[in-house]
Amino acid sequence: MANLSKLTKVVVLVLILQLSCTRLPQATGKEGALPTIDLAETTSIPGEWGQLVSVVISPDFPRRVQLWFQNEKGDIHLAFYEMSQRKLAPKVVVFARS
């Protein structure tokens, strides 16, 4: 009889938990490309980008290095360095702070 009481409590608890679960709304992000700038010179890094804060190598692109910079305003520049060509990619992604 005690086992039946414990089983009933477990079943009731599972039912309550199931009813209390609701699906979260899907996040809707903005679609489109990230803002980029074109580099006039791909062999040097502009000083206005600020300090280098991170270097990332993706296993999917082992010959391309991501260079993350942050300036005093808080703007972030993401540049890609092509190791095989020994220069920066001509497009830089910019995350501007408002």
Average pLDDT estimate for 75-90: 94
CA pair distance 77, 26, nearest whole angstrom: 29
Tens digit of pLDDT for each residue in 27-73? 565 667 788 999 999 999 999 999 999 999 999 999 999 999 999 99
pLDDT of residue 72: 94
Give the Cβ contact number of residue 6 at 10 Å. Answer: 10
Cβ partners under 8 Å of residue 94, min gap 6: 34, 35, 36, 37, 75, 76, 77, 78
- Of the two residues 14 and 59, the one the predictor is more confident about is 59
Largest Cα–Cα distance of the chain, in whole Å? Answer: 82
